[in-house]
Chain A
Amino acid sequence: AQRVTQPEKLLSVFKGAPVELKCNYSYSGSPELFWYVQYSRQRLQLLLRHISRESIKGFTADLNKGETSFHLKKPFAQEEDSAMYYCALKSNYQLIWGAGTKLIIKP
């Protein structure tokens, strides 16, 4: 069955430290994966998608088919990165979502 797992409900790091938000997936085909973000009092919005191979707000995510992972990384965290982060997998024309990780950046 298709599934997205975000093992950490909460991740707290200091400003300037590296950040890695983990996402693992279960999917039999060729996956398309996304990261969405929700800042405080704002709506859920797309951060990046793996097919674009882009860096948004300093974040990158590489698809690792061998490890079935799509971890989100940033080398130096900033306070404004504090938010909820959701990993999502495209499956049969709909998105399968992880439960989300709350990222807190401490000053």
Chain B
Amino acid sequence: ETGVTQTPRHLVMGMTNKKSLKCEQHLGHNAMYWYKQSAKKPLELMFVYSLEERVENNSVPSRFSPECPNSSHLFLHLHTLQPEDSALYLCASSQDWLENTEAFFGQGTRLTVV
């Protein structure tokens, strides 16, 4: 699939579980992002990676841990989450972070913490 692909599409996990969300882009973009989308709230930027280096960390709890092993892949490692972390997690990429060109989004992972 072209564009930005996220897996899994749906995830249910217990508060003591450890899981990872995966994002992949084959657009040749240099910047990748994790967003959290909660019901009826604006998208919240969680992490930004530019050229595989983290450039923004918007005060996200340490139970969320990002990893960017190469320019095409981005992970979000989850551990000991809380029910209020249930949300849609969106990955996006753009050609360049500084120029903030058009962001291309994945379809998201719907996370439910029980």
B12 to chain A, nearest CB (A): 20
Q: Are B42 and A99 in contact (CB under 8 A)?
A: yes
A11–B106 alpha-carbon span in the complex (Å): 26
A8 to chain B, nearest CB (A): 13
A93–B102 alpha-carbon span in the complex (Å): 12
A25 to chain B, nearest CB (A): 12
Q: Are A86 and B105 in contact (CB under 8 A)?
A: no
A93–B106 alpha-carbon span in the complex (Å): 20
Residue of B nearest to A32 (CB): B100
Q: Are B107 and A46 in contact (CB under 8 A)?
A: no
Is B48 on the interface with A (CB-CB < 8 A)? yes
Which B residues between 86 and 114 are near A, CB-CB below 8 angstroms?
A: 90, 92, 97-98, 100, 102-108
Band of interface residues on B:
20 to 34
A48 to chain B, nearest CB (A): 10
Q: Are A95 and B48 in contact (CB under 8 A)?
A: no
Given A43-B106, A46-B103: A94 and B42 interface contact (C-beta under 8 Å): no
A19–B43 alpha-carbon span in the complex (Å): 24
Q: Are B40 and A99 in contact (CB under 8 A)?
A: yes
Is A56 on the interface with B (CB-CB < 8 A)? no
B31 to chain A, nearest CB (A): 9
Q: Are B48 and A94 in contact (CB under 8 A)?
A: yes
